[in-house]
Structure 1
Amino acid sequence: MTRIGVYPGTFDPITLGHMDIIRRGAKLVDRLVVGVTTNPSKSPMFSVEERMEMVRREVAGVAGDVTVVSFDSLLMDFAERERASIIVRGLRAVADFEYEYQMAGMNQQLNARIETVFLMADVSLQPIASRLVKEIAMYGGDIGRFVSAPVKAQVDARVREIGLKGDARP
């Protein structure tokens, strides 16, 4: 039986921290589905289509069977549709654990067949968050240590396009 895992997120933009979890998560399953989703509580810098293209480009060199799919539904419905038995989640800090622990409990109530697996982010990548990457870029800071060069170019271009430097927040 093929073991399928789902790694969900908004990936707005995809960071080196996300890539660390994707590389390591791909080793745990036969197929890893990276689920690009919307989040009503977030204001995305990129459309779902742009994020899908960005994630596909970034995961192209990852060893293993990694696919990228968009979804706009409950995570457990998406995982069921993908025939996943594992949800992969990355943890950076204690605050992440509290939120993720609560979500894992709720998800287990919705579908006890699907397990949640937590991966600790690499120590050097733990502070990276997409929200902070966007904020740094909008204030003219260098995000090159947090994202790949192609993602940096996309973020920088979007910041120039929307003209937000120094007086707005993501």
Structure 2
Amino acid sequence: MFKTIDSSKISISQLMLPSHSNFSGKIHGGYILNLMDQIAFACASKHSGMYCVTASVDTVDFINPIEVGELVTMKASVNYVGKTSMVIGIRVESEHIQTGTKKHCNSSYFTMVAKNELGKPSEIPGLILNDKTEVMRFLKAIKRINTKKSRIDEFNHINFTLENYLDELRNYRVKIELPDN
């Protein structure tokens, strides 16, 4: 079975209140991450028809701060599907209600896994890609997945040792004072 991306898109909007702010008066990043996790769950569950859990979050960059009183809108769509997992792309924008000025605040990618009634990963529908943007998002997701796998392979390789990589630290602001033993 295959589904279109449009069939599982989700959009939510919420007014940012003083109770959502941090000590500097901006909306707390943790609060925004919580909302992002919720919309990722809703989008993944809508696509898969199952309960879904967050497996990982890739690249959370807070581009612009969100102010108290702004309307935050989050848009989520399935960018990639594997056998049991999917990558949900999320875009966060804020809008100054009085002026209508909008800011792009965050984009992120949540990997979600569909679970069956026994809590085991379960196969999900494939994707129908029906425009160039959807194809590009799928291709970019593949690249991010492969880059992550390469990094994990490098870090877990037997040659990833202090001795083999110590010279790379010369260009960084660190002072190494290791004991002799």
For normalisation by structure 1, the TM-score amounts to 0.24
Give the number of the structure with larger relative contact order, counting CA–CA contacts within 8 Å between residues 6 or more apart: 1
Relative to total residues, which structure has the larger helix share, 1 or 2? 1
